[in-house]
Amino acid sequence: MLVLLFAVLAGPAFAATGIAMRDVRLDHGDDGYQLSTDIGITLSPRLEEAVARGVALYFVLEFEISRPRWYWLDEDVVERSQTYRLSYHALTRQYRVSTGALHQSFDTLAEALRLVGRLRSWPVVELSRLKAGESYVASLRLRLDVTQLPKPFQLSAIGNRDWTLESDWQRWGFTAQAQEAR
């Protein structure tokens, strides 16, 4: 009976680990399309411990646009990705999120993960790459890139669910709009 009670109480804590996409928008602008989204990221206790001990985690946001074709494979129009590096610095007791040459520091892990999951107006495709009136399928996902972990952790991550963290592909269709005359 005690085991059943533990399983019921602990179930939500185990189910809460993962990545959940919320409010994904592909907005049409003057120069092209921009992507905005909020992504909820919850690390497993093992990943939280790894970050707290100085292991950097790399998250990759992948975006694709394809044009469905009935006579052949879908045409890949755009493939974009953005990498976030999450690390902890024991000397300053701060978490740091880096993308490219930009970085920002945070006091808590939750604040750092919120920045990784908050994307606003990311330019993903120019209007010239899409044909007005054509139908396209956009796809988005966020995943932990275990290939960028230190080698001993890569070996540990093989087949270990504690190190696997990725969202499902979010897919949605849209029709390309014509460029507005100025």
For the whole model, what pTM was predicted?
A: 0.82
Give the type of residue at 12: P
Of 146, 165, 167, 159, the closest CA to residue 37 belongs to 167
3-state secondary structure of 114: helix
Give residue-wise pLDDT tens across range 152-166. 676 666 666 777 889
pLDDT values of the chain reduced to their tens digit, one per residue, 182 residues: 323 333 333 334 334 568 999 889 999 888 889 999 999 999 999 899 999 999 999 999 999 999 998 888 888 999 999 999 999 999 999 999 999 899 999 999 999 999 999 999 999 999 889 998 999 999 999 999 988 877 667 666 666 677 788 999 999 999 988 776 54
Q: What is the 3-state secondary structure (H, E, C) of 115-180?
A: HHHEEEEEEEEEHHHCCCCCEEEEEEEEEECHHHCCHHHHHHHCCCHHHCCECCCEEEEEECCCCC
3-state secondary structure of 29: coil
DSSP letter string, 63-82: EEEEE--SSSSPEEEEEEEE
The answer to whether the Cα torsion of 38, 39, 40, 45 is positive or negative is: negative
CA–CA distance, 21 with 37 (Å, rounded to integer): 7
Q: Rounded to 10 degrees, what is the CA torsion of 118, 119, 121, 125?
A: -170
